[in-house]
Each structure stands twice: as C-alpha cells, then as structure tokens.
C-alpha cells in the first residue's frame, strides 16, 4: 500500500489559555488533535496584551491537562522566557510534563519582552541588552539541567548533580532524575530575530521561531516587504549556523503568524489565501507555520468553519 508523502509544511496552532477547562478549554485541545494539527502551543505569560483584565490561565498546568486529554498531538510553549522563571524549578516542571505527555513536549523559548510580565515580580524592566544577557545564561543552564541533571552518574552513589554560578542564575547540586522522556532532552525551539539570538538557536536549539523581521511587520507593512524580511532572516540564520559549525538544514524553521503580520497576508481569510501564503513559506524554507486558534471578541476572532476547512484541506492542496 502506498504511503502518503509528508506535507512540505507542518501546520500548528496557538490556543490561548482563556477558557476554563470545563467550559471550552478541554474541547479546544481535543479538537486540535482531531483536526490533525502537528503541535498545539500556548503562550507562557502571566498576562498578555489586551487580556490583562480578562481570564488568562497558566501555561504549564494547561499543557499538563492537555497532555492527559490528548494522545498524539505535540504540545508546547511559544514562548517561555526568563521574565518570571528560573531554570532550576522550570527544568523540573518540564521533565515532569515531558513524562506525563509521553514525550510530546516542545519548549519554545525566548528572551521575553517588556510587557506586563517584565515587572510583575516588582523589579524594573530590563533593557534589551539585559534581557539578551539573561536569556543566554538562562538557556545554557536550562539545556545543561535537562541534558545532564538526570545522568550525572549513579544517583545511589551520591552523584553531585548540576552546580553552576553565573551572573544572573545559580544552581547547586541539582538532580533531575530520571531525565526527560525524549533523549537527550526535550527539543528547544528558540525565538530570535537577530544574530545573537540566532547563535543561541544554532548552539542549543532543535528549532528556530520568528514572527518576521521587526521592521517588516505591522498592519501597514506590505506582503512583499514582509516576505523579503523573512528571506533576509533565513539567510542570516544560515550564515550563523555555518559560523557555529551547525548544518543549517538541521535546524527546524518555524513561523508564528502573529497579530503583527501584515494585513495583506490574510492567512486565515480563506483556504486559497492560506495555500498561497503557505506555498510562499515553503519556497522560502520554512517547515512549520503556527496560526492562532479562533478566540471570540479578540484580535484573533476568525470564522470557525473557515479555520477548520484550512486545517483539514489546506496542506493537502499545498501538496498538490
């Protein structure tokens, strides 16, 4: 029997954590699996944009619940950041979630922004340089904890675990037994728009994610300029990979279709618009597109019927 070829692009979704689990939360994740999405992500924020005074649940408990409600769907954050997290407790939570999900977890991870989460712990907002410095150390330590924390020798013999003291984060004899279900650890998809972040993606990531070149975003930006900006980012990513001894093709490339994507793209306006946009992304070199699950009375409000048609038919038309 002939095996259907893999689609040239994976289609994933972001489900905002805005519904009580018993009132639409569970159903959204289960429906995402039924529709065949590759991964369903959620944002790892305490509050975000216009949702600050609206319902907004925590990412990792939501993903844990989703893991028990689904069987095949990959799950992930898009993205986790140092804004309100520390690598040591985060590592323990992630390996637990990787176990509960049966090895279906992907960690989207980035430097974080200057939104509400940046000052929620009572500190002053970090400058872009400070965020970048913290993120580099955060990512290196988290990588080490998840890769080595469960395998630093025989735990019965009193293995020392992972110890580290940096400029921003410290760890002392951290054990992470039994380690991740996925080996050597769960995959990282690193968010980056410039060369410094791309270098971290090349060094630590299994994937790289972008919303686009910052100067080519916004509702007034044109589709051609937006795609040209993506092409420049991909070219830069290839160069950074080569400079760091990484085969460029080994790094998974993900585009998040964000609220700042130019209006002319219209990814979810129709199946035809989706196929056109997705085809352009394949030509550029992306292998995953992430779209937002429809959310009523928000900037992500979309026609549910069209959305489901895109999920069910879009990639097959793209293959054709």
CB contact burial 171-202 (16+ within 10 A = b; e otherwise): beebbbeebbbbeebbbbbbbbbeeebbbbbb
* pLDDT reported for residue 318: 86
- CA distances, 266 to each of 123, 248, 258, 262 (Å): 39, 29, 11, 8
Listed residue (108, 107, 161, 171) closest to 137, CA to CA: 171
pTM: 0.95
Q: What is the reported pLDDT for 220? A: 77
Residue 13 and residue 265: Cα distance in Å, rounded?
17
Distance (Å, rounded) from C-alpha 291 to C-alpha 266?
11
Judge contact between 154 and 162, C-beta under 8 A: no
**Contact between residue 145 and residue 88 where contact means Cβ atoms under 8 Å apart:** yes
Q: What is the pLDDT of residue 259?
A: 85
Identify the pLDDT of residue 1: 52
pLDDT along the chain (320 residues), means of 10: 72 97 97 98 94 95 98 98 97 98 98 92 95 98 90 50 96 94 97 97 98 88 92 98 97 95 89 96 97 93 96 88
Sort 12 into a burial class: Cβ within 10 Å, 0-12 / 13-18 / 19+. buried
What is d(CA 184, CA 131) in angstroms, rounded to the nearest whole number?
A: 27
Examine residue 161 and say whether the peptide bond preceding it is cis (omega within 30 degrees of 0). no
Dihedral angle at the C-alpha atoms of 78, 83, 86, 89, nearest 10 degrees? Answer: -50
- pLDDT at residue 159 in the model: 56
- Give how far Cα 284 sits from Cα of 206, 226, 300, 316, Å: 19, 12, 25, 19
CATH architecture of 10-319: Alpha-Beta Barrel (3.20)
Neighbours of 89 (CB within 10 A): 10
Question: Residue ranges of the domains in the chain?
Answer: 10-319
């Amino acid at each position: 029997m002939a095996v259907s070829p893999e689609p040239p692009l994976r289609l994933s979704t972001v489900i905002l954590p805005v519904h009580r689990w018993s009132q639409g939360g569970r159903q959204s994740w289960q429906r995402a699996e039924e529709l065949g999405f590759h991964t369903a992500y959620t944002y790892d924020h305490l509050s975000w944009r216009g949702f600050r005074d609206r319902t907004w649940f925590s990412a990792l408990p939501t993903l844990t619940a989703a893991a028990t409600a689904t069987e095949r769907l990959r799950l992930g954050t898009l993205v986790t950041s140092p804004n309100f997290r520390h690598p040591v407790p985060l590592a323990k939570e992630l390996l637990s979630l990787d176990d509960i999900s049966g090895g279906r977890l992907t960690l989207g991870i980035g430097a974080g922004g200057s939104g509400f989460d940046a000052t929620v712990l009572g500190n002053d907002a970090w400058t872009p340089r400070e965020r970048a410095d913290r993120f580099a150390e955060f990512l290196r330590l988290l990588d080490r904890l998840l890769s080595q924390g469960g395998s630093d020798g025989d735990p019965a013999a009193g293995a020392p675990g992972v110890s580290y003291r940096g400029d921003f984060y410290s760890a002392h004899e951290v054990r992470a037994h039994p380690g991740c279900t996925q080996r050597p650890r769960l995959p990282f998809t690193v968010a980056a728009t410039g060369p410094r972040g791309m270098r971290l993606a090349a060094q630590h990531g299994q994937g790289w994610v972008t919303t686009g070149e910052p100067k080519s975003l916004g509702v007034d930006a044109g589709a051609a300029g937006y795609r040209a900006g993506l092409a420049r980012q991909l070219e830069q990513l290839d160069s950074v990979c080569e400079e760091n001894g990484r085969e460029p093709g080994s790094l998974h490339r993900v585009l998040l279709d964000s609220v700042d994507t130019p209006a002319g793209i219209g990814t979810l306006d129709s199946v035809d618009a989706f196929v056109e946009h997705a085809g352009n992304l394949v030509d550029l070199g992306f292998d995953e597109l992430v779209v937002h699950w429809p959310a009523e009375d928000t900037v992500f409000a979309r026609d549910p019927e069209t959305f489901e048609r895109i999920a069910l038919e879009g990639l097959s038309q793209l293959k054709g």
